[in-house]
Amino acid sequence: MSKRFYITTAIDYVNGQPHIGHAYEKIIADVIARSRRSLGQEVFFLTGLDEHGQKVQQAALADKKNPQEYCDAIAADWLAFAQRLELTNNDFVRTTQPRHKEYVQATLAKLQATGHFYKASYIGFYSTKEETFLTEKDRRPDGTFDPSYGDVVELKEENYYFKLGEHQQWLIDYIEANPSFVQPDYRRNEVLGFLKNNKLEDLCISRPVARLNWGIPLPFDPEFVTYVWFDALVNYASVAQAHSELALWPADVHVIGKDILKFHAVYWPIMLKAMGLPLPKQVLVHGWWQKDGARISKSTGNVIDPIAVINEWGLDALRFYVLRELDIGPDGNWTDAGFRSRYQAELANGLGNLVNRSLSMLKRYRNGVVPARSNELAADAAKASDETRALLKQNQLQSALQSIWGLVNRANQYVDQTAPFKLAKDPAQAQRLDEVLYNLAEACRILAVLLWPFLPGTSAKIYAQLGLPGAPEKFDASSWGGLTAGHTIGEPAPLFPRKDV
């Protein structure tokens, strides 16, 4: 059996509500998953929740719930969110699931037995209010700690440490030898710069139960629970193990945001090396969304609610905007005006208008019956299809959309140049009109195929309006000539209703 293409997102903290950043990451992963399926690969797409740790314990306490009840309630919201985004994920992991906890414990036991951990004591300044150790960086210029930390006491604490430091040179060599491991390149350089300019400290992988009990107990010392990142990162492997019959590991792509790069490109590969597992093929790092040039923040009210956007504009409009506006890598800036303008220009007037006028004319002038094949736009369609195929294989989603819109614009221009509404008035031009109508209908069909990974709802509507069965979910259907003479199309209807604002 050939290996499945295994793609993951970061798993989200349950102590918060889903926002545009979470939606963005999931949409990227969903488009990559759908495109690989379209290109003929078997795919396994994983997303889920990170449920342990101090913040969850505190939030549950504040809510007068036990942590598990608290997580169960919030997990239901996040599952509903994934469904609202119509994600094609194959599993949904929660780090409180027994399958995950058991795998983490087995991993810890193995690493302990093979000498990757040691116990040591740490003396530091501890804020009881924030329940965290403070560092020198937290001191104010006069040497004191901010009163917001409450009482700060010097504390000695024993913990278990993972020997991260001894793998530093190995990791540098690995990242240098495998340029595609961290993408885009500037994120890879960031990791290399960090590794070359800092001494990698060993990683504290435990928390004393007295301080934090909402975690996975260390299998070899019940006085401690596992540090959340050592627990969370392992989800990618624990779920692969849970589906061992599918041969998922190593993962092909971990889609993550830039803030958690170090965990995925430094800790995780070293953990895997110690576990004796191959490394994921790629860590794909996206940037962060801002709104109107400022940080997204609940407290200032500078937020974008993805569900509200879907309710008002439709899911495909949301998917289109975030992918077309922002390449995977840099930070992006959401503006409502920018959103409306892309909706109007590219979706309503671009794609929507093309499909609507092409199919309406076919209906009006030829009773919806497809004329004989003609190949005038075949080369333009082949160009878009070849480019899109190549770009999808490289996860270049924004460029793929640009290439697809090359065909949308070319076909709209073709309508203007050939003026079928004029040809229709002249019986001597009947054959020319047939040619034009065939080229337009076939271009619309091919667009549905190319757009399937990005705008699945819209693609399915175009197929239905063309009177074609099923969904355009296989990329191979993008070769010219799929519509056959004599086929009758369905009912045209606007894809993106114009909005007057």
75 Cβ partners below 8 Å, 6+ apart?
14, 49, 51, 94
Cβ at position 149, least distance to ligand MSP in Å: 22
Cβ neighbourhood burial of 154 (10 Å; 0-12, 13-18, 19+): exposed
**Nearest to ligand MSP of 93, 440 (CB atom):** 93
Residues 6+ apart with CB under 8 A from 311: none
- The β-bridge partners of 49 are 12, 94
- Tokens in use for 247? 């041969």
Least distance to ligand MSP, CB of residue 482, Å: 38
What pairing do the DSSP bridges indicate for beta strands 221-226 and 91-94? Answer: unpaired
**Smallest distance, Å, CB 49 to ligand MSP?**
8
User: Which is closer to ligand MSP, CB of 125 or CB of 288?
Assistant: 288
* CA torsion through residues 198, 199, 200, 201, sign: negative
Distance CA 109, CA 420 (A): 73
Cβ proximity to ligand MSP, 237 vs 381, nearer residue: 237
Which CB atom, from 51 or from 380, has the smaller least distance to ligand MSP?
51
Please, which residue, 14 or 455, has the CB nearer to ligand MSP? 14
Cα gap 339→9, rounded to integer Å: 25
CB 237 → ligand MSP: shortest distance, Å? Answer: 11
Q: Which two tokens stand for residue 489?
A: 């199309």
* Contact yes or no for 331/304 (Cβ under 8 A): no
- Chain-centre distance for alpha carbon 421: 43
Residue 165: Cβ within 10 Å count: 13
Residue nearest to ligand MSP (CB): 257
Helix (H, G, I), strand (E, B) or coil at 24: helix
What are the residues binding ligand MSP (CB under 6 A)? Answer: 10-13, 21-22, 24-25, 50, 232-233, 235, 256-257, 259-260, 288-289, 296
Of the pair 13, 227, the CB lying nearest ligand MSP is at 13
DSSP 185-246: HHHHHHHHHHHHHSPPPPEE-EEETTT--SSPEETTEEEEEE-HHHHHTTHHHHHHHHTGGG
Least Cβ distance, residue 325 to ligand MSP (angstroms): 12
The least distance separating ligand MSP from the CB of residue 282, rounded to whole angstroms, comes to: 15
Query: Can you spell out the DSSP letters for 318-385?
Result: HHHHHHHH--SSS-EEE-HHHHHHHIIIIIIIIIIHHHHHHHHHHHHHHTTB--S---TTHHHHHHHH
CB of 239 to ligand MSP, least distance (A): 11
In this complex, which beta carbon is closest to ligand MSP, that of residue 10 or of residue 182? Answer: 10
Rank residues 174 and 288 by Cβ distance to ligand MSP and give the closer one. Answer: 288
Residues 67, 214: contact at Cβ < 8 Å? Answer: yes
Query: Considering beta carbons, is residue 338 or 467 the nearer one to ligand MSP?
Result: 338
Least separation in angstroms between residue 151's CB and ligand MSP is: 28
CB of 74 to ligand MSP, least distance (A): 12
Residue 280 CB, nearest distance to ligand MSP (Å)?
12
Instruction: Provide the token pair at 260.
Output: 């958690």
DSSP output for 460-480: HHHHHHTT--S----GGGGST
If the CB atoms of residues 16 and 470 are measured against ligand MSP, the closer one turns out to be: 16
